[in-house]
Structure 1
């Protein structure tokens, strides 16, 4: 097997599809480093446990995820259409006011430790008509670069994510030393909160698969992963951002409603009450 091959692990009932991203030699033979195609997971395996699959093949597990993703996107867009239709059914005076109004959803900066996951996210941001800027920054470098990126982009919402994970056979889930990259997410959030303390001025989502949820929230994030230390889907941050970006600034985002559109749900994502970032304007310019 070679770097770039698409594989599944036989010992895990072929539940997750991976790409081989590195091969390391050890006393017990070749160790294959794997990256999840859809889930933010890095793993390693001996060659004897791997089975090569076609690049277009998805496990039953991932087919369920893909259906959930498509359902979430359709649900979000249909909900916006339903709101527009309700506005059309109002009185003529209200309708005329609405026709002269315009709105701007919150701007998003998405910093990711993985270029492929970021590319997938940016495509869905575009599908959902969201203004998003993406930047690939290695997890360990995120605390050093995040504030300058925010000064440059001037976002309303910041996503800080990449890869993470817990040590095998972990017993103390509150010990930060048992996590691959949680400390970097925490440091990045801390840097941002030192720059902008207001939770409603700058909304922060931080974390990845199995991240130290409690410590990330304590550092100042509005939303974080992963309350039950589960794997999260690469698009979970996107769906959280959509809820915030399109909720009127006069309203507080319903955490439960926001989680309904995510793939991992309350086991993978949680957060604090946060005001929306959608701003209505009036009147609409006749030149645009």
Structure 2
């Protein structure tokens, strides 16, 4: 018997994705992706429980993907740090004395999945990024996002959760054919009404299969999903991290951002954006740098 919280796959989709059962209301069971930001419905007879061995096998694959993505980010972080070091040294008579402090941006991460939010917050902290995380249903985001922004005063806002495209509701071009894309779009528009400058407030918006074009037109710097594919749970974190560790003097190479993610260019895209990190001198010996992940 399948109950709330069980891990399952769908027979009709050749068991491609592991879901967690959110509720068992008939006639359809509501499902949430275990490792990807996808929400779906399925009849009970289409579901099959996932064995412990099968879950463990797939979990190893996911962990390997995440580890590879993290290594790519750290590699890029070291390159960015070397560039900052070089710039700081050029202002000193002796390069060996070059020390600087940095002021990283704050991130507001609003997530429609509490488990994914917890995982993302842990990664932000591992990357040394200041973050305020908030669980919120996607439908509530348009009304509540501005209140949170006023409270947290972030420079980067991440709006994510679950989404899905339904062919039965319309074509891929129609916003109404998506489970939650319209709420992400409305949220982005509300933010841009007060913060129209793309380099003052950087926005990531979207989840699995989200309506990429509408999110970009609404004012998102980065969004999912250009090819309407599923995106990994932690992909939004890497986008925010790249912005956070790129100097405000530099434009972000969109391809370099996307290549750090597990989903790649089919799942994520964006527009030209400046970084938000600021450095200063002189460095105080009484200060600690919690943002150095090298």
CA–CA separation in structure 2 for the residues paired with 1:56 and 1:39:
20
The answer to whether the 8 Å contact 1:253/1:276 transfers is: yes
Superposition deviation, residue 66 in structure 1: 2.9
What residue is the counterpart of 1:201 in the other structure?
200
Q: Could you say if the C-alpha distance between residues 83 and 267 of structure 1 is closer, same or farther in structure 2, counting changes exceeding 3 Å?
A: closer
Superposition deviation, residue 181 in structure 1: 1.2
SS class of match (2:233): coil
What residue is the counterpart of 2:7 in the other structure?
6
Mapping of residues 46-85 of structure 1, within 5 Å:
46-54=43-51, 57-58=54-55, 63-81=60-78
Mapping of residues 272-287 of structure 1, within 5 Å:
272-287=271-286
Superposition deviation, residue 62 in structure 1: 5.9
- The answer to whether 1:130 aligns with 2:129 is yes
- Alignment gaps of 5+ in structure 2: 288-294
CA–CA separation in structure 1 for the residues paired with 2:79 and 2:256:
16
Structure 1, residues 150-185: CA drift from partner, whole Å, max 9, x if none? Answer: 111111100111111111356522211111111111
RMSD (Å), alpha carbons: 2.2
Of 38, 44, 54 in structure 1, the residue corresponding to residue 41 of structure 2 is: 44
Mapping of residues 1-288 of structure 1, within 5 Å:
1-26=2-27, 31-54=28-51, 57-58=54-55, 63-81=60-78, 87=85, 93-97=94-98, 99=99, 101-169=100-168, 172-288=171-287
The answer to whether the 8 Å contact 2:170/2:177 transfers is: no
Superposition deviation, residue 210 in structure 1: 1.1
The answer to whether the 8 Å contact 1:73/1:128 transfers is: no
CA–CA separation in structure 1 for the residues paired with 2:149 and 2:113:
19
The answer to whether the 8 Å contact 1:15/1:61 transfers is: no
SS class of match (2:20): strand
The answer to whether the 8 Å contact 1:147/1:195 transfers is: no
Superposition deviation, residue 147 in structure 1: 1.0
- Alignment gaps of 5+ in structure 1: none
Superposition deviation, residue 222 in structure 1: 0.6
The answer to whether the 8 Å contact 1:14/1:59 transfers is: no
CA–CA separation in structure 2 for the residues paired with 1:84 and 1:159:
24
CA–CA separation in structure 2 for the residues paired with 1:273 and 1:56:
44
CA–CA separation in structure 2 for the residues paired with 1:104 and 1:160:
23
Deviates more, 1:198-207 or 1:16-25: 16-25
Superposition deviation, residue 63 in structure 1: 4.5
The answer to whether the 8 Å contact 1:157/1:202 transfers is: yes
CA–CA separation in structure 1 for the residues paired with 2:208 and 2:70:
22
SS class of match (2:109): strand
